[in-house]
Amino acid sequence: MFYLTCNIIKINISSRIRIMSNTEQKLHMHIFKYGLSLIISFLIIVAGCTVPGSGQKSSRIKFSIQNTLPIERKNVPIVLTIDQLQNVSPDITLNALVVVTGKERRETMIPAQADDINYDGERDQLVFLINLAAEEKKEISILYKPNVKATVTLDVNKQTRAGIFPKLHAVAALESDLLAYVLKPNGAVVAYGKKREHLFTVDKMFQNELDNNAPFSPEFRLHFETYNINLTQRPQALIIDIEKPEHRWVIRDLENQEDFYVRKSDEQLNIYKSIGLSLNALLPKQDNPKHDNNVEDTTMVVLTPHVDRIGCGGFALWHKTEQRLIPIPNEGDYVRVLANGSIRSIVQRILPNWNVGGETFQLTYTTYIYGSNPWLEHYIHVDRQLPPDYAIVVGIPKLKETFGVDEDKGLLWSWGTDPNETDSLGMALIYPTAQTSGPVDTDPSLITITLHPDDAGRLGYRSLAIWNGGINGIETQAEFKQYLQKMMTTMENVPRITFIPLEEGQ
């Protein structure tokens, strides 16, 4: 769904129109002008004003989100179900709303998305990403119109994608702006890194402007303009995030919806850009309309050294007595994309007749990916308990340098380099310790562990790859372990959400 300010919408629309032919421009300009008038009217309504003749104001749900940890947290997914929201306001639907933060009349909109998770035709989950400083509490409001039937959708700054690509010989594929994952028919998952695009290099004399988050000097801006990059002139719309002090920064141009990544090397600052959503780069050349057949595509790099089974976070069936790995079959399965949105994408695969030891089960496998995050969330549901001789097995590849299993924390990890031995690479899998019977030796090239669905037949885990050839890379094993420790800590301490009663007149 669409939830951004009008000035950003205009920028986004104009940028799309410029790449169209003249005929397409006229048609799309008419469509966008009509759509934009609806969007602006909707924004006027939800902002608390009234459209002439309507006499109706928007409704509001107010709540706080608190980071209970003494560490900063970025791009945290916040998911609210329709049941949670209707317990507060029974008339709310997820058809027409905006999510905002800040004081009333000076509120800032947060990009958000509403999804139909149970596939019944009604949106039932609201999701958005939020940054939280150490122990910070933010007040959030949902402004909504309860009686609106139609929905206004406009992808703005899309950060995820999911789709079914038969030419990839895969069940489906998902990607965030950081990494891509291809789901194979046998249950394996293949990870792909996205090479960062080098734009230009400047002297380190400009580092002070990055460290102090100060307005950029004309000299620094000139380097961007030389490469046809016109940064916003609004100081409040140009934000500098320090990813690693003295070494890495992110320049976020909120008005133009562009991020630039800065890495320090020797006496220079290298400016990079993400290649963004790029699953099409994996398609055969003749099936990719954007591909120049005379140029080799090197933007996507396979990170999984062994793709025939398990891969990075994939799963299979394990026969305990025979010590045998059984790939997931694909006969009779069906796949659906539950969400293909700006904030997150979801793919669900269902095997209604899964043969396990001569018995028939229904297997449902659902995979989530979130924008600006490198990990996948996996959820497995079996309609009843598996026979005693069987378990689910999950894992990651053994990279060349080192690997380990921490059974107390529920962690598999591996560190080394990509298959081309070009850039450092880390892979990990975080699993529920209460649902495992321990590691198993399924293949010399894999680290694998058996997992058992709970009494309701459910099982969830998280897998990830971190590649230093992309925009979010990690250089050393020590940094990788710190990253994993922080991730596990944040998973155990989700932000605290508290609904706030509205004062009279709100």
**H or E segment at 36?**
helix 22-46
Closest CA to 93 of 124, 116, 118, 50: 124
Classify residue 311 by its DSSP letter: B
DSSP character string of 413-439: EEEEE-TTS-SEEEEEEE--GGGEEEE
pTM score, whole prediction? 0.87
Q: Work out whether strand 179-183 and strand 436-440 pair parallel, antiparallel, or are unpaired.
A: unpaired
Alpha helices by DSSP H, 159-264: 207-211, 218-226
Q: Return the C-alpha torsion angle 229, 155, 282, 374, nearest 10.
A: 80
Q: Give the pLDDT of the chain (506 residues) as one tens digit per residue.
A: 333 333 333 333 323 323 333 433 343 334 344 444 445 445 544 444 333 334 456 799 999 999 999 999 999 999 999 999 999 999 999 988 999 998 777 888 899 999 999 999 999 999 999 999 999 999 999 999 887 776 654 446 799 999 999 899 999 999 999 999 999 999 999 999 999 999 999 999 999 999 988 889 999 999 999 999 999 999 888 999 988 889 999 999 988 888 999 999 888 999 999 888 989 999 886 555 555 544 445 689 999 986 689 999 999 999 999 999 999 998 999 999 999 999 999 999 999 999 999 999 999 999 999 999 999 999 999 999 999 999 999 999 999 879 999 999 999 999 999 999 999 999 999 999 999 999 999 999 999 999 999 999 999 999 999 999 998 889 999 999 999 999 999 999 999 999 999 876 55
What lies within 8 Å, CB to CB, of 134 at 6+ separation is 67, 69, 70, 71, 72
Q: Find residue 392's DSSP bridge partners.
A: 317, 451
Packing angle of the helix pair 6-18, 22-46 (nearest 10 deg): 170
For the chain, which domains are there?
A: 6-148 (2.60.40.1180), 160-195+300-492 (2.70.98.30), 197-273 (no CATH)
